[in-house]
Structures are given as C-alpha cells and as structure tokens.
C-alpha cells in the first residue's frame, strides 16, 4: 500500500520565536520515542540549521527542497541523517523559485505523491509567503510558537488564511515558547505562559497543554567551537525543556496515531477524482464533436492526415467541431472579406490572412432586427481583446437567386443555429485556431479552461 506522510508545519510570521528549535528537536524526539516511525524534516528557511544538525560527516547529498518543489520525487531526496531522522537538504535559492509556485496547493500535491512514509516536519520562514502558505495548506498539524503579545497578535493572519482557504482551524495549535519562568505577575495570570494562553483562548485559538521554557542551556546549543547545533535530547537532558519536549511529542504522537486519513491521503484521493473528472469532461467534449464539416460536408475527425486548423463551438454547447483551414478560409474570403477571387495557398494575400487568422478568435451571431436577419461578426485577439465588429445580411444565395450560389455564411449559421435567427448576446458561434498536429488537445481541461475564459471575456465585451 502506498505511504502517505503526516505533515507537521511549524510556522509564525514573527522571527526568533523558536520555530526552528521546535521543528528540529521535535523531529528528534519523535524518532526517539518511536524508533520504528520514519521521521523526515525539511526547511524553507535558508539558514541551513537543518543541515547543520542532521548532516552526517562526509555524507554526500543530492538535491534540495528546491528540487522537491520542482517536481523531483520526495522520496529520492530524503537522506538518512543524525539520530535516524531523514532530511531533505536546504536550498539557498528558494527566493528565486517563489514566483513559479502557482497557488497554495503545490506542496500538498507533491507531498501526496512523495511516497515518504511516517511524519514530515516542515520548518518555515518568519513570514506568510507562498511557501509558508503551501506548508500550512498541507499540514495535518500546524504548530505556532508564540513568545509574547506581538507574536500572538500575528497569529491572526494565519487563522485568517485558514478561514479564507476553508481549512479546519482545529489543525492549528499555539504553543507558548521561550517562556521566562522568572517573570511573575500579580492577579489571576501569574506568569507569561498563563497570560499568553488566556489571551489565546480568549481569541478562540487552541493551545497545547504544554509550553517551552526559556533556558540558557538550550540557547547555547548552537554556539560551540565545532559550528554544530546540538539537540536538547542529547545535550540538555537535565533541563526542564527536555521534559516539555517529551510531553509535547507524546501529545503529537497520540494525535498522529489517532489520524486514520492524513491530508496527503485525502489530497491524493481528491487528485485522482479530479483527474477522472477531467478525463470524462475531455471525452464528453470529444464525443460531442460533429463528424462532418459544416461547410462542405466532408468527414472531419481531427486526424493528423487532415488539415484541421480551427475549432468551433456554439457558446451554449449545442454544436461543436473542427474546420479544415481551406473551408474556413473560403468562408472568410467570400463572406467576410468579400473577395471574389480564388487565392492559391502561396498567394501573399492568402498567407497574410492565414497568419492573422491563426492569431484570432472569431464569433458569429444571428440577429434579427429592423434590417431583417443579419449576422454579427467579431474578431478578437487570442487574449480576448476586441479587434473588429461587422454586420452582414443573412442571405441564402450570393449574387441573386438565379445564380444559385449558396452563401457559406448562411450555411454556417443554419448548420449551427438552425431556426434560431435571433439569439441573445451571450450566445454565439466561436471559432478558435488549433494546433494542426494535435487539434483535439484544445479540448483537454487545461487548454479548454482558456476557451471558457475567452467566452466569458467575449460576453463581458458584448455587455459593455
Ligand atoms: N527554549 C529556548 N530557550 C532559550 N533559547 C531558545 C529556546 N528556543 C530557541 N532559543 C533561541 O532563540 C533563538 C531563536 O530560535 P529559533 O531560531 O528556533 O527561532 P525561529 O523562530 O526559527 O527564528 P527565525 O524566525 O529567524 O527562523 C535562537 O538563538 C535559539 O537558540
Ligand atoms: Mg527559523
């Protein structure tokens, strides 16, 4: 069975509240309390504390968190480090990469597909940038260290983010950190931790029962001649902080064991359903296509052998299909540009028109008013910017009935709208260029979204 990690994110917008100390030591205590449990840690900070703490001397590492964000499978990046904790090496180039992280769900997807088992602890930077947002979105348990009122006030933004994303506030827990036991107050809130907890609960925030004291010994663990950072478990075992970490870890382990479905598992299930939905929508669009050209009646299937260049659909979804380049061009030439000539494919006029058409989107709409039945024609850029609007009378025959040459524009409208010769402004026939090698790719979800957006822009344009 595939493994799905349980994610713990340590986050706070405030700097120096003890996030990294908490994240790194928590990983060590988790492993110490349950040796069979795989524990992995990585950090979005560029302090390389994780590396200094977990790197084994002489160990060759490959890849970093930046590679993980750029789709290298997570499992390939985890290195077994000191104290049996796995770690993904830190990166100094995350700032450059931020722009390419599209939305808050990127990390959740990567973690769901990472095949990293057990628990993953994520240390974050002291802000709510896109990486922290991703780490919070993916978290089964988010831990927010607070050391004073300003850091408590700052929690508001994390809670607001959870509300905004529709996430469950229950997965957020505060923990008073760097608590100076020497400070005492008069009245019901006798010390820092009691005061912070009271304020937190008053604002509706959950708190862990435990807290982490400020200890000079703990503070000294990252200042030593060999440049290492030592864990509390091995180098400060006699301090109060050791007992507090052990208690916090027990609480987190029980939460972990009580979790039957991690967010990574649920996210993976959701991804699969989404994939299924996209595939079904794609096949539904594909099977709804007309098998014959509306203009010339020849079979059009979108096969590579054909010269398919345009996709069309009536915006209400009633008719859709492909045009071969030649067919749609002869319509443009005869009925729109009114050129009564037979242009060869190498003619410069033809080439200019073809290049322009490949960069354009066209709409056709039958409108009946005081002037009788007409066709409103519009040309837009591929970005939906309006370029041209014209109206043409809708006549069945060109050049008088005796000549009996049926108008292509009339054929187009009657094949798509039938008897509907006066449709509302949000109903139109859209013609959009496609990749000649792969016309049907326009119907794939990620591309078709562009068509949907374009239709919305066109409707907005006609309403303006
Ligand atoms: N329990 C503690 N007692 C005393 N000092 C501590 C304790 N926890 C952390 N510190 C010290 O406080 C400082 C800040 O801790 P840490 O780096 O863990 O905070 P941080 O929130 O990760 O900071 P940043 O926002 O810069 O990433 C460090 O010097 C650390 O050694
Ligand atoms: Mg830190």
Domain interval for residue 54: 6-272
> CA-to-CA distance for 368 and 289, rounded, in angstroms?
28
> Tens digit of pLDDT for each residue in 54-113?
999 998 999 999 999 999 999 999 999 999 999 999 999 999 999 899 899 999 999 999
Q: Is the pLDDT of residue 352 over 90?
A: no
Asked if 123 and 153 touch (Cβ cutoff 8 Å), the reply is: no
Task: Say if 63 falls within a structural domain.
Answer: yes
Torsion, Cα 312 314 317 323, to 10 degrees, reads -20
pLDDT of 188 reads 76
CA of 18 to the centre of ligand 2 (A): 7
- Per the structure, the count of domains in the chain is 2
Tell me the whole-structure pTM to 2 decimals. Answer: 0.80
Q: Of 204, 238, 272, which marks where a domain is finished?
A: 272
Name the residue at shortest CA distance from atom 31 of ligand 1: 219
Residue 142: beta bridge partners? 9, 172
- pLDDT value at 400 more than 60: no
Atom of ligand 1 nearest to the CA of 21: 18
Same domain, 198 and 85: yes
61 and 170 fall within a common domain = yes
Residue 402 — pLDDT band, cuts 50, 70, 90? low
Contact status, residue 11 vs residue 142, Cβ threshold 8 Å: yes
Q: Which residues contact 402 (CB under 8 A, 6 or more apart)?
A: none
Reported confidence tier of residue 452, pLDDT bands at 50, 70, 90:
very high
Boundary (domain end) residue, out of 218, 237, 272 = 272
Q: Answer yes or no: are the C-beta atoms of 251 and 209 closer than 8 Å.
A: yes
CA distances from 236 to 80, 218, 379 (A): 23, 7, 73
> Do both 265 and 355 map to the same domain?
no
Find how far residue 337's CA is from the centre of its chain: 43
- Please report where in the chains the tokens 């820092």 appear, as a residue: 192
Asked whether residue 351 falls in the same domain as residue 447, the answer is yes
What is the model's pLDDT at position 67? 97
At residue 23, the 3 state secondary structure works out as helix
pLDDT score for 80:
97
The tens digit of pLDDT for each residue in 111-157 reads: 999 999 999 999 999 999 999 999 999 999 999 999 988 888 889 99
* Nearest-angstrom CA–CA distance, 229 and 227: 7
Each residue's pLDDT tens digit, 296-331: 888 886 565 567 889 999 999 899 999 988 889 888
* d(CA 148, ligand 1 centre) in Å: 13
330 and 210 in one domain? no
Helix residue ranges per DSSP H, 203-339? 216-220, 232-235, 240-257, 263-287, 325-331
Domain membership flag for residue 427? yes
316 and 252 in a single domain? The answer is no
DSSP assignment letter at 333: I
Q: Is the dihedral of CA 84, 87, 89, 90 positive or negative?
A: negative
| Among the bound ligands, the one closest to the CA of 90 | 2
Position 335 scores a pLDDT of 85
* Residue nearest to ligand 1 atom 16, measured at CA: 18
Pocket test residue of 13, 15, 16 for ligand 1, highest count of atoms within 8 A of CB: 16
User: Do 301 and 249 lie in a common domain?
Assistant: no
Q: How far is the CA of 34 from the centre of ligand 1 (A)?
A: 25
CA–centroid distance, 414 to ligand 1, in Å, is 73
Residue 280 lies in a domain: no
150 and 193, same domain (yes or no)? yes
- Residue 198 and residue 304 in one domain: no
Is residue 340 over pLDDT 70? no
**The pLDDT of residue 210 is above 60:** yes
Domain membership of residue 278 (yes or no) is no
Read off the pLDDT of each residue in 368-380 and give the average, rounded to a whole number: 91
State the pLDDT at residue 376: 95
- Which residue has the least CA distance to atom 8 on ligand 1? 18
Domain assignment present for residue 279? The answer is no
Tell whether 113 and 199 lie within a shared domain: yes
In a domain, 93, yes or no: yes
Q: Supply the CATH number for residue 91's domain.
A: 3.40.50.300
Q: Of all protein residues, whose CA lies closest to atom 23 belonging to ligand 1?
A: 16
- Final residue of a structural domain among 272, 301, 336: 272
Atom of ligand 1 nearest to the CA of 16: 23
Same domain, 160 and 308: no
Give the atom of ligand 1 at the shortest distance from the alpha carbon of 24: 18
User: How many angstroms separate the CA atoms of 367 and 418, rounded?
Assistant: 13
- Token readout for 182 is 């020497």
**Amino acid 369: pLDDT:** 86
pLDDT at residue 306, as a whole number: 64
Residue 42 forms part of a structural domain: yes
- Mean per-residue pLDDT of the chain: 91
Query: Own/partner pairs for 147-152, CB < 8 Å, 24+ apart?
Result: 147/14, 147/16, 147/17, 147/18, 147/176, 147/177, 147/178, 147/179, 148/196, 149/196, 149/199, 150/14, 151/12, 151/14, 151/17, 152/196, 152/199, 152/200, 152/203
Inter-axis angle of helices 149-164 and 130-137, nearest 10: 70
In a domain, 268, yes or no: yes
Is 80 exceeded by the pLDDT of residue 404?
no
Question: Sign of dihedral through CA atoms 156, 161, 164, 166?
Answer: negative
Which of 15, 18, 147 should be mutated for ligand 1, with most atoms under 8 A from CB?
18
Q: How far is CA 424 from the centre of its chain?
A: 35
Pocket residues for ligand 1 (CB within 6 Å)?
15-21, 45, 126, 178, 212, 214-215, 218-219, 222, 241
* pLDDT score of 90: 97
């Amino acid at each position: 069975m595939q493994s799905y990690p349980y994610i713990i994110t340590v986050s706070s917008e405030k700097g120096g509240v003890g996030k990294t100390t908490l994240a790194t030591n928590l990983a060590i205590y988790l492993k110490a309390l349950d040796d069979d449990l795989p524990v992995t840690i990585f950090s979005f900070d560029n302090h390389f504390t994780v590396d200094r703490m977990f790197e084994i001397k002489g160990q060759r590492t490959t890849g970093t968190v930046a590679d993980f964000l750029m789709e290298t499978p997570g499992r390939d990046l985890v290195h077994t480090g000191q104290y049996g904790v796995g770690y993904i090496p830190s990166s100094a180039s995350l700032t450059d990469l931020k722009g390419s992280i599209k939305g808050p769900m990127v990390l959740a997807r990567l973690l769901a597909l990472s095949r990293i088992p057990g628990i993953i602890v994520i240390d974050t930077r002291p802000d709510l940038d896109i990486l922290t947002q991703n780490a919070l979105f993916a978290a089964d348990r988010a831990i927010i260290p607070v050391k004073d009122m300003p850091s408590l006030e700052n929690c508001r933004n994390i809670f607001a983010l959870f509300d905004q994303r529709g996430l469950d506030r229950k997965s957020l827990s505060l923990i008073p950190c760097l608590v100076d036991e020497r400070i005492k107050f008069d009245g019901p809130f006798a010390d820092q931790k009691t005061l912070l907890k009271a304020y937190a609960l008053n604002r509706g925030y959950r708190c862990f029962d435990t807290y982490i004291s400020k200890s000079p010994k703990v503070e000294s663990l990252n200042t030593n001649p060999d440049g290492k950072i030592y864990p509390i478990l091995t180098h400060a075992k006699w301090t109060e902080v050791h007992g507090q970490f052990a208690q916090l870890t027990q609480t987190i382990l029980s939460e972990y064991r009580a979790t039957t479905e991690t967010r990574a598992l649920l996210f993976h299930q959701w991804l699969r359903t989404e994939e299924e939905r996209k595939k079904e929508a794609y096949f539904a669009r594909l099977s709804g296509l007309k098998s014959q050209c509306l203009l010339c009646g020849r079979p059009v299937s979108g096969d590579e052998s054909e010269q398919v260049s345009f996709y069309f659909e009536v915006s209400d979804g009633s008719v859709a299909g492909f045009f071969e380049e030649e067919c749609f061009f002869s319509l443009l030439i005869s009925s729109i540009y009114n050129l009564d000539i037979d242009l060869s494919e190498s003619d410069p006029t033809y080439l200019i028109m073809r290049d322009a058409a490949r960069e354009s989107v066209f709409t056709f709409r039958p409108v009946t008013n005081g002037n009788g039945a007409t066709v409103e024609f519009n040309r837009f850029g591929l970005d939906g910017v309006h370029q041209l609007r014209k109206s043409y009378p809708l006549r069945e025959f060109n050049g008088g009935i005796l000549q009996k040459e049926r108008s292509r524009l009339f054929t187009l409208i009657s094949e798509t709208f039938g008897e509907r010769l006066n449709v509302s402004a949000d109903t139109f026939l859209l013609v959009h260029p496609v990749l000649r090698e792969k016309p049907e790719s326009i119907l794939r979800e990620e591309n078709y979204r562009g068509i949907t957006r374009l239709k919305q822009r066109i409707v907005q344009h006609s309403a303006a």
